[in-house]
């Protein structure tokens, strides 16, 4: 397991809901991508895109169905093609296999706050704070991962300055929304980490280790 996973760890258990398709090549390796459906406790479902190496596909003979567990890292890249979301969030699978049992969706991140927090109130009167976390990885690169906090955690998060080192735990969620374009309304999907626990990395009161 990559040592940098100490900063960026994801574990999922859910159902494949699409066949793998070619994604890209990097460092003489070919990568494929497929959607995984993970059920929340509420019964709602998140669709999360999983990136795997060609060797992993061949070993498991993944065909677009079945229940899998995945351990890996959250990754981001900027989509410059003008279609879909500008910031694309995926899970890079380090290990995976077939499984049974309840769905899981766990994310643990340590990174730097790279934009001022955005505190706002939902139409239902609930406080929510948007955060952008820069999480380091190898080769001098970083993943820029959108996160959201709710309630008291949102009000606390709004006070952190840019550059604050944060540790958090949460889950990946997908959210459909309508964007108005010159061609008319277009349905798009946003991905973010819904935070359950968060603290400054050097805080002695942090519940996260």
pLDDT exceeds 70 at position 209: no
Instruction: Compute CA distances 64 → 17, 52, 54, 122, whole Å.
Output: 6, 13, 14, 37
pLDDT exceeds 80 at position 70: yes
DSSP state of 58: H
Q: How far apart, in whole angstroms, are the C-alpha atoms of residue 194 and residue 180?
A: 25
Closest CA to 36 of 52, 53, 20, 49: 49
pLDDT exceeds 90 at position 34: yes
Strand partners, 123: none
Beta carbons of 157 and 149 less than 8 angstroms apart: yes
Question: What pLDDT shows up at residue 83?
Answer: 57
pTM above 0.85, yes or no: yes
Beta carbons of 71 and 10 less than 8 angstroms apart: yes
2 vs 152: which has the higher pLDDT? 152
Question: What pLDDT shows up at residue 71?
Answer: 97
pLDDT exceeds 80 at position 150: yes
What does the pLDDT average to over 203-207?
A: 61
Question: What pLDDT shows up at residue 3?
Answer: 41
Beta carbons of 79 and 144 less than 8 angstroms apart: no
pLDDT tens, 78-127? 866 655 557 889 999 999 999 999 999 999 999 999 999 999 999 999 99
Closest CA to 202 of 167, 159, 168, 158: 167
What does the pLDDT average to over 140-149?
A: 94
What does the pLDDT average to over 146-156?
A: 96
Mean pLDDT over all residues of the chain?
A: 90
Q: How far apart, in whole angstroms, are the C-alpha atoms of residue 79 and residue 90?
A: 12
pLDDT exceeds 70 at position 41: yes
Question: What pLDDT shows up at residue 204?
Answer: 61
Confidence tier at 205 by pLDDT (50, 70, 90)? low
Q: Where are the beta strands (DSSP E) in the chain?
A: 8-16, 21-26, 29-39, 45-53, 67-78, 87-98, 104-113, 118-121, 127-136, 142-150, 165-181, 184-200
Instruction: List CB contacts of 174: < 8 A, sequence separation 6 or more.
Output: 46, 47, 48, 189, 190, 191
Question: What pLDDT shows up at residue 117?
Answer: 98
Q: How far apart, in whole angstroms, are the C-alpha atoms of residue 73 and residue 108?
A: 9
């Amino acid at each position: 397991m990559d040592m940098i996973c100490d900063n960026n760890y994801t574990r999922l258990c859910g159902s494949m809901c699409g066949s793998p398709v070619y994604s890209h090549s990097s460092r003489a390796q070919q990568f494929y991508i497929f959607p995984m459906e993970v059920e929340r406790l509420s019964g709602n479902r998140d669709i999360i895109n999983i990136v795997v190496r060609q060797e992993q596909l061949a070993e498991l003979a993944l065909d677009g169905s079945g229940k899998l567990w995945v351990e890996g890292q959250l990754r981001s890249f900027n989509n410059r093609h003008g279609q879909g979301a500008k910031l694309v969030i995926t899970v890079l699978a380090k290990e995976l296999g077939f499984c049974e049992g309840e769905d899981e969706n766990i994310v643990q991140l340590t990174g730097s706050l790279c934009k001022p927090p955005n505190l706002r109130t939902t139409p239902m009167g609930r406080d929510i704070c948007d955060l952008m976390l820069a999480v380091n990885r190898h080769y001098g690169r970083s993943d820029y991962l959108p996160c959201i906090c709710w309630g008291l955690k949102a009000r606390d998060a709004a006070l952190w300055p840019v550059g604050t080192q944060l540790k958090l735990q949460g889950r990946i969620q997908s959210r459909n929304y309508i964007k108005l374009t010159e061609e008319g309304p277009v349905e798009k999907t946003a991905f973010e980490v819904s935070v359950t626990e968060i603290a400054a990395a050097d805080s002695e009161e942090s519940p996260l280790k």
